[in-house]
Amino acid sequence: MTTPPKTLISAHDLTVSYNGVPAVRDVSLEVRAGEVVVVLGSNGAGKTTTVLALAGELPPSGGHVEFHGEPTTAQLHTRARAGLALIADDKSVFMDMTARDNLRVGGCAAEQVEELAPELVAHLDRRTGLLSGGQQQILTVARALARKPTVLLADELSQGIAPLVVDRLYATVRRAADEGLGVLLVEQQVRRALTVADRVYVLANGRVDFSGTAEEARSAAGRIEAAYLAGDAPAQG
């Protein structure tokens, strides 16, 4: 009998509130070693709130998070030291620094990103603010992966990025997952995200409205996209 992959991070009946108003309600999900989990949903569905709670940036008002099998209330810097990497939706790079110095601040050397992002090598001594948005996002992902995390949480990798660059980023993340990394991607681009996903959760109004395999989600992709346009999400199925 095959042993299932280890669960690296999970939420259990997670509720997160802002000023007493729940933004996420009773969300349960998990990310296992070696898989890409995609969280889909329209704007305001609770995707970013969920990621920030998993990362330790927002405290739950109900339920709990487990990291490497143990309940945790640790803040992000503590979880980062234990193997968690967070890529927020603002690219998290220092625009006035060179790409090389951004890597140093992130605790890795330029040589570590040559395999991950060879297209950056010629731009390492350029100020990051002069790089394209796609190059900045590649730098962000390479810096995160070079530190060899066990879990990567990434919020809207594809936002504002050309499709070819998105495909490049997804391929890099997929390869890292195939080597054992647990990945959670928050996305709005349904069909593109499903090309790299193993499992999928859809959030609507702060709740999990759909969970299933990528194959099941691909079968419902049209319905999921239509629900985005309607400002709602599909029924469980």
Q: pLDDT tens digits, residue range 183-225?
A: 999 987 888 889 999 999 999 999 999 999 999 998 887 777 7
Are 159 and 76 contained in the same domain? yes
Please check whether residues 226 and 190 belong to one and the same domain: yes
In-domain check, residue 2:
no
Is the domain of 11 the same as that of 70? yes
Q: What is the pLDDT of residue 24?
A: 96
Q: 62 in helix, strand or coil?
A: strand
Per the DSSP assignment, residues forming a β-bridge with 84 are 151
- 3-class DSSP string for 109-143: CHHHHCCCCHHHHHHCCCEHHHCCHHHHHHHHHHH
Residue 139 has φ and ψ, to the nearest 5°, of: -60, -45
**Does the structure show a pLDDT above 60 at 235?**
no
Task: Check whether residue 39 and residue 121 sit in a common domain.
Answer: no
Q: Do 160 and 62 lie in a common domain?
A: yes
Give 230's pLDDT tier (boundaries 50, 70, 90). Answer: low
For the stretch 119-163, pLDDT in tens is 888 999 999 999 998 899 999 999 999 889 999 999 988 888 888
23 falls in which pLDDT band (50, 70, 90)?
A: very high
Residues 136 and 162 in one domain: no
- For residue 206, what are the β-bridge partners? none
Residues 167 and 72 in one domain: yes
Closest to 79 in 3D by CA, of 88, 92, 94, 66:
66
Which pLDDT band holds residue 178 (cuts at 50, 70, 90)?
very high
Residue at 88 is within a domain? no
Q: Which of 102, 129, 148 is the last residue of a domain?
A: 148
What is the pLDDT, as a whole number, of residue 53? Answer: 97
Residues near 63 by beta carbon (within 8 Å), at least 6 away in sequence = 11, 12, 13, 14, 15, 26, 27, 28
How many structural domains compose the chain? 2
pLDDT at 1: 55
Domain membership of residue 116 as a residue range = 93-148
- Provide the token pair at 136: 């900045």
